[in-house]
Amino acid sequence: MEKHRGFPGRLAGTDFQYVIRRDNKDGATEITKRVRHPDRRPPDKRADAGFMTALYEQFGEEPFVRGNLDAGRLSWLFGREVIPAEDPFDPADYEAMLKIDIKVAMISFPEIKWR
């Protein structure tokens, strides 16, 4: 499992986790598409925006390996702002390649300063 050096471990001042410390001996947790309802709590929305910002600052528009990125946090963005970068895509593989769909991300997170 690749560890993304320099990637924030969590949203500052919260328990919203962005990375995992070690791989799961039973295999990677599967990334699934989660529904983001409009009435989500503000802290949850800030966690999503913070994670999206960190992804963009670390990887830009280039494909990246899932590695130690938290599956739960990725699942809130998966299928919209974060999409598979390979076909076939294995959502339960630490080596799976992902990428940011920049057009969708810019619409979903207008508060982020996009380059």
Rounded mean pLDDT, 12-16? 84
- Which residues fall within 8 angstroms of residue 78, CB to CB, at 6 or more apart? 31, 32, 33, 34, 91
What would the pLDDT profile of 48-74 be if each residue is shown by its tens digit?
Answer: 999 999 999 999 999 999 999 999 999
87 domain residue, yes or no: yes
Residue 10 belongs to a domain:
no
Residue 54 forms part of a structural domain: yes
Determine, yes or no, domain membership for 61.
yes
Residue 72: inside a domain, yes or no?
Answer: yes
Domain around 91:
42-108
In a domain, 75, yes or no: yes
Average pLDDT (36-47) is: 91
The predicted model scores a pTM of 0.91
CB 8 within 8 A of CB 54: yes
Answer whether residue 102 is part of any domain: yes
